[in-house]
Chains A and B, each alone.
Chain A
Amino acid sequence: MVNYIWVGMMVTGFIVAIFSGNVDKVNAAVFKSAQEAVTISLGMISILVFWLGLMKIAEKGGLLEFLALLFRPLVKRLFPDVPEGHPALGYILSNMVANLFGLGNAATPMGIKAMEQLKVLNGGKNEASRSMITLLAINTSSITLIPTTIIAIRMNYGSHTPTDIVGTTLMATAVSTVFALSIDRFFYYRSVRKEKK
């Protein structure tokens, strides 16, 4: 599916550009965005190095194991494929906690580390496993208690009640997370049934 969307967006873009006379703009966009992608990736080195270094201390001190133990009932239900006491669980939980508190730049390194552990668990294959997709579903629907960026923008534009969207955001994000988890389950069971046939 991702192959079709990827080719589709590009080819449609080129065709539309020919008819609308935006070919120059599109040419510029290709190289500008390629450069942007490299800048973003390299820019992440600092965050990754810092947080992964810090997380190593937490891991060696047993803090991640403790976190995994604390939330065992929840995590067992969300990630039934991951054996108890596996290091992936600690990273998954740190990722969720960081997301909850809106620490985006800490959540990403922890999520990536969790993915790495899940890949090891999946035999190092380049295919997404069930647990990887669940972790992704949680991250794309992003439960955040306090959306700090948005509150800051609202304050910038002189809002009288910059935080009154916290409640609506929480409700919307809860709905989308619950839905993401259910549909993730649904697709998983469907893929299992397909394999059996």
Chain B
Amino acid sequence: MSFINSFSIWFIPFLIGFILLYGTYKKVPTYEAFVEGGKEGFSLAVSMIPYLVGMLVSISVFRASGALDLLLDFGKPLFDWLHVPGEVVPLGLMRTISGSGALGMTSDLIASHGPDSFIGRLASTIQGSTDTTFYVLTVYFGAVGIRKMGYALKVGLLADLVGFIASIVVVSLVFS
């Protein structure tokens, strides 16, 4: 554990130092290159604003109105029938639409069921195994101004569903 912790702490300064020394060795004007590359950061961040505002408003209206809870109540018989543990269904749905929302739910589940319980481990696995599709889609496409997404959303959503199912299957096999 301490090895993993120190690894992720040491990795960033190591990476930064390596790039700087390598650049110097290759006679790159490092400081000038840094400034030149960094300049683009501002415009990229600004151009994702309208995309992110649109998406986050829509998601938060859906959540705050109670529509998300309603959808979960509605689907409960189906999940029970499929032997999906009811506790993690809201998390599975939230994982796709909101990263911070999902992290909050995971912490809740771990706190109330215990980190080493079946639900605690399942929630941890679901949280760690996929990324927030709506967020990734909005940020990546928004920053460079892609409006027509093609089949990208379908791919992301189906992958989330498969990741969710895979988490349940794997955790059930390994920990019970």
Contact = CB atoms under 8 A, between A and B. Distances in A.
Given A37-B56, A41-B52, A56-B37, A136 B152 contact: yes
| Interface size, A (range) | 35 or more
A63 interface: yes
Interface string B74-113: 0000000000000000000000000000010011001100
A54 interface: yes
Contact of A52 (B16, B40, B125): B40
Contacts of B44: 48, 52, 109, 112, 116
Contacts of A133: 149-152, 155
A75 interface: no
A74 interface: no
Contacts of A36: 56
A14 B61 contact: yes
B146 A149 contact: no
Interface in A161-181: 161-165, 167-169, 171-173, 175-177, 179-180
A159 B139 CA distance: 34
Q: Which of A44, A119, A140, A163 has most B Cβ within 10 Å?
A: A140
Interface of A is mostly: helix
A47 B40 CA distance: 12
B52 A169 contact: no
Contact of A22 (B36, B64, B114): B64
Contacts of A177: 159
Contacts of A176: 129-130, 159-160, 162-163, 166
A40 B36 CA distance: 24
Nearest to B115: A159
Interface string B38-78: 11111011101100111111111111111100100000000
A41 B49 contact: yes
Contact of A1 (B34, B62, B106, B153): B153
B115 to A, nearest CB: 4
Nearest to B143: A112
20 contacts: A9-B61, A25-B65, A26-B65, A28-B64, A38-B49, A48-B45, A50-B38, A51-B41, A53-B34, A53-B35, A56-B37, A112-B44, A136-B140, A136-B155, A140-B131, A141-B131, A162-B1, A168-B171, A171-B170, A176-B130
A6 B54 contact: yes
Interface of B is mostly: helix
Contacts of A148: 4, 8
Q: Which of B63, B150, B167 has most A Cβ within 10 Å?
A: B150
A177 B131 CA distance: 11
A132 B152 contact: yes
Interface in A14-45: 14, 16-17, 20, 22, 25-26, 28-30, 32-34, 36-38, 40-42, 44-45
B131 A142 contact: yes
B55 A157 contact: no
Nearest to B137: A136
A6 B151 CA distance: 15
Given A22-B66, A179-B158, A30 B60 contact: yes
Interface string A93-127: 00000000111001011011101100100000011
Given A20-B66, A154-B115, A157-B110, A140 B159 contact: yes
A157 B111 contact: yes
